[in-house]
Amino acid sequence: MAQQIPAAVPDRVPKAMHAEVPDLVVVIMAGGAGTRFWPVSTEHRPKQFLRLIGTRTLLQQSYDRVAELVPRERILVLTAASFVELVREQLPEIPAGNVIGEPCRRDTAAATALAALLCRRRFGNPVLAVLTADHYISPPAAFQRALISAARGARQHPQALYTFGIRPTYPATSYGYLQLGERLPSADQVAHYRLLQFREKPNAETASDYLEAGDYCWNSGIFVWTTAAILAELEQRLPDHLAGLERAAAADGTPEFAGELSRAFEPLRPISIDYAVMEHARQVHCVEATFAWSDVGGWVALADFLEHDPFENAARGQLHVLEAEGNLAFCEDPREHVALVGVRDLIVVRAGNRTLVTTRARAEGIKQLVRGLADELK
């Protein structure tokens, strides 16, 4: 079950708050290759580029949430080199040079290091907000308030690394957890805490214990810090990453940049920023989210965001049922029709010439299925 997301409300952050952190830069990570949404999601057009919820893609919604807070020149998107043109197509507002294509996947520590080095070169020592392109957040104004609060905190405590915690609504086993310590002073109504420790994805019993304890949050993967703070941690934890990537960043804006980036990325050890830095850093603060959040991890999670009939069938498209309950039907083209008779707890997805039928209980097998498909179907 995914976290229920309320409808967005007509709410805006006062413009006076925008000036609180005038040096903010937003980095959107958009390099994922998620396969759990096959057949709509493919290697050439993964989850972040899809219109799964509403009329804008998840990437476009990520941009929309920050577009009012920072000039477009201060928004960077890091993605796979093969997705650069797709990002530019979906976000034509962003300067072309702000869409950075990684030559190969080396996980989030490499992407974070590259983003920090480029921002230092371009902007000095700004506050960086590092966001993911494939999460759903509502309402946007609550997210903006929390982001401004974290950015203000990062400027006031320039050695601290900030993460966002989501209060759990059920004992999820698919998320990492954050254990909160003492509450810290903040200049607004957004709650800040000292973070005690990161916890890996738990089993069901441990997740229930975390929920009952009341001092744990889900790890959202949203981070805020000064450029200097994250580079200092990376220098301590991953000096080899920085050595190569600094040479690449020095070529930013030149014809040699792509080649230098390839030479820098190829030898890097894949590792996440959580494992490499956040779990070891001494000064980590957590902002408690006042917005609802979901990583929309697969078809089962998406059901919470689709229209439901009286029999708990969730659908996008034209769904017709007879004695059918608890099913999910998704049509890439919402004008298409799906008919279900006498079945329950199925997932039925239509996308072009590809159709998926599975049960909710076996949805995790989609990833394994896709690995075995012919290249033209992936």
Compute φ and ψ for 198, nearest 5 degrees: -90, 145
Q: Tell me how far apart the alpha carbons of residues 29 and 99 are, in angstroms, rounded to a whole number.
A: 10
The pTM of this model reads 0.91
> Which residues are within 8 A (CB) of 367 and not within 5 positions of it... i.e. 6 or more apart?
35, 36
At 167, the amino acid letter reads: R
Q: Which two tokens stand for residue 134?
A: 């494939």
Mean pLDDT of 148-162: 95
Q: Is 50 exposed, middle or buried (0-12, 13-18, 19+ CB in 10 A)?
A: buried
Which tens digit of pLDDT belongs to each residue from 316-350? 999 999 999 999 999 999 999 999 999 999 999 99
Encode pLDDT of 177-235 as tens digits. 999 999 999 888 899 999 999 988 999 999 999 999 999 999 999 999 999 999 999 99
- For residue 2, is pLDDT > 50? no
Superfamily of domain 15-294: Spore Coat Polysaccharide Biosynthesis Protein SpsA; Chain A (3.90.550.10)
Label residue 16 by pLDDT band (50, 70, 90): very low
Give the DSSP H or E segment for 369.
helix 366-371
What span, in angstroms and rounded, lies between the C-alpha atoms of 221 and 124? 24
Confidence label for 12 from pLDDT (cuts 50, 70 and 90)? low
3-state secondary structure 236-282: HHCHHHHHHHHHHHHCCCCCCHHHHHHHHHCCCCCCCHHHHHHCCCC
Please state the separation of Cα 364 from the chain's center in Å.
20
The residue written with tokens 């989850």 in the block is 47
Q: What are the tens digits of pLDDT across the range 48-93?
A: 999 999 899 999 999 999 999 999 999 999 999 999 999 999 999 9
pLDDT band at 21 (very low <50, low <70, confident <90, very high): low
DSSP for 203-234, please give it: -HHHHHHHHHHS-EEEEEEEEEEEHHHHHHHH
Average pLDDT over every residue of 139-164:
95
Spans of all domains in the chain:
15-294, 306-377
Residue 13: both structure tokens together: 């952050």
Query: How many other CB atoms are found less than 10 A from the CB of residue 61?
Result: 22
Q: What angle do CA 198, 166, 155 make, to 5 degrees?
A: 75
Window from 31-45, 96-110, 186-200 with minimum mean pLDDT: 31-45
> So what's the pLDDT on residue 22?
75
Tokens for 257, please give them.
């940049």
Contact (CB, 8 A) for 146 and 164: yes
pLDDT tens for each residue of 236-279:
999 999 999 999 999 999 999 999 999 999 999 999 999 999 99
Model pLDDT, residue 19: 53
Which DSSP state fits 2?
P
* Nearest residue to 29 (alpha-carbon basis) of 92, 87, 95: 87
Mean pLDDT confidence for 87-101: 97
